[in-house]
């Protein structure tokens, strides 16, 4: 039987949601009613694809990959599979690799016919291409920012079969502003195919990445590569030696929270960068130019 699945990069999704609702992409500024959000995402996917849901895959990070805080509650929700990468200095690592692995495995096993991938990180592009080569249609789920456009890598948009825009009206039903509150999971929850009434607030999935603050005015960066270099310097300044070495081992994959801020900040200097893959490449190259030479 043909089915669909939803793959959500929680770090990217909640940072972009915070940007859409509060004007700044700080994940801890928003709280999420997961028991309501998950069925709503399932309904979006089923409506868009016309197929029943296999499950939702929720990708996040935790220290040493050990669930904490609301992760236990998320993992206990019906038809939700919690997948955790590592967290270091409030940055997620290994999440993209987990998403790609699950997407391509389900495609190879013919377990799904359609995938809704909620992420804007171009590092998952090759995983999308592999899934498509195995016969899976891939829809890119994007958060609509206040100006109405999603923050997505152009190469990712070009690779996907179509897009599903998640607007602010939808997000406000399930995401609020303010400090997170952790509650005990209920003994029973509504089935995923229904859209239950809103219930108590549960916590954001993990601590937000510390915002990177440039030590020099960004307008002084004359090229995207120089901007990326200075951003990388500011980011590296915030890291311990162990965290820096861990980040260097992730090259060339920038953590999605950090990449999202890099691209947003760069747009304040160079204008919209969607449709300009050469600028994204130069920003990332400049970032790694500095990070890889730090000791």
Cα torsion angle, 54, 58, 63, 67, sign: negative
Per-residue pLDDT, 275: 65
- Please determine, for residue 185, whether its predicted confidence score (pLDDT) is greater than 50: no
Q: What CATH code is assigned to 4-177?
A: 3.40.50.1010
- As given in the structure block, the two tokens for residue 178 are 């303010």
Q: What does the pLDDT read at residue 154?
A: 77
| pLDDT tens sequence across 221-233 | 678 888 988 898 8
The beta strands (E) that lie in 111-161 are given as 114-118, 137-143
Question: What pLDDT does residue 150 have?
Answer: 63
Q: Model confidence over 65-110: pLDDT tens digits?
A: 677 777 888 999 999 999 988 766 555 567 888 999 999 999 999 9
Sign of the C-alpha dihedral, residues 14, 177, 143, 193?
positive
Secondary structure (3-state) at 87: strand
Name which of 264, 211, 274 is nearest 238 in CA terms: 211
Laid out side by side, the sheet with 162-166 consists of: 91-93, 80-88, 53-62, 4-9, 114-118, 137-143, 162-166
| Per-residue pLDDT at 56 exceeds 80 | yes
Confidence of residue 220 (pLDDT cuts 50, 70, 90): low
**CB 73 within 8 Å of CB 34:** yes
- Is the predicted pLDDT of residue 208 greater than 60, yes or no? no
pLDDT tens per residue across span 9-31: 988 888 888 888 887 777 778 88
**CA-only gyration radius of the chain, Å:** 18
Q: Is 140:156 a contact under the CB 8 Å cutoff?
A: yes
CA distance 230 to 235: 9
User: What rounded mean pLDDT belongs to the chain?
Assistant: 79
Higher pLDDT, 90 or 55: 55
How is the chain split into domains, by residue range?
4-177, 218-291
What is the tens place of the pLDDT at every residue in 114-148? 999 999 888 899 999 999 999 999 999 988 877 65
Checking if the pLDDT of 217 tops 60, the result is no
Residues 6+ apart with CB under 8 A from 19: 25, 143, 145, 151, 264
Nearest to 59 by CA among 2, 112, 123, 113: 123
**Dihedral of the CA atoms 232, 229, 268, 257 (nearest 10)?**
-30
Cα separation, 99 vs 56, in Å, equals: 11
């Amino acid at each position: 039987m043909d089915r669909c699945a939803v793959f959500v990069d929680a770090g990217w999704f909640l940072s972009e949601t915070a940007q859409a609702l509060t004007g700044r992409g700080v994940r801890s500024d928003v709280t999420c009613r997961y028991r309501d959000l998950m069925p709503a995402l399932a309904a979006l996917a089923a409506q868009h694809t016309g197929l029943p849901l296999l499950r939702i895959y929720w990708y996040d990070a935790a220290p040493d990959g050990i669930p904490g805080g609301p992760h236990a509650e998320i993992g206990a929700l019906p038809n939700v599979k919690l997948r955790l990468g590592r967290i270091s200095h409030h940055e997620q690592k290994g999440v993209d690799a987990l998403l790609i692995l699950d997407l391509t495995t389900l495609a190879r096993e013919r377990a799904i016919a359609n995938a809704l991938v909620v992420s804007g990180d171009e590092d998952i592009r090759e995983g999308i291409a592999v899934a498509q080569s195995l016969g899976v249609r891939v829809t890119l789920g994007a958060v609509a920012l206040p100006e109405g456009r999603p923050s997505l890598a152009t190469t990712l948009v070009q690779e996907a079969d179509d897009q599903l825009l998640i607007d602010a009206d939808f997000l406000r039903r399930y995401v609020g502003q303010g400090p997170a509150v952790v509650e005990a999971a209920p003994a029973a929850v509504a089935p995923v195919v229904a859209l239950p009434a809103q219930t108590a607030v549960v916590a954001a999935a993990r601590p937000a990445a510390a915002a990177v603050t440039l030590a020099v005015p960004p307008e002084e960066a004359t090229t995207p590569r120089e901007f990326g270099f200075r951003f990388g310097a500011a980011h590296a300044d915030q890291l311990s030696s162990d965290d820096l070495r861990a980040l260097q081992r992730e090259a060339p994959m920038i953590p999605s929270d950090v990449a999202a801020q890099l691209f947003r900040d760069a747009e304040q200097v160079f204008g919209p960068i969607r449709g300009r893959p050469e600028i994204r490449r130069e920003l990332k190259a400049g970032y790694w130019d500095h990070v890889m030479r730090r000791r």
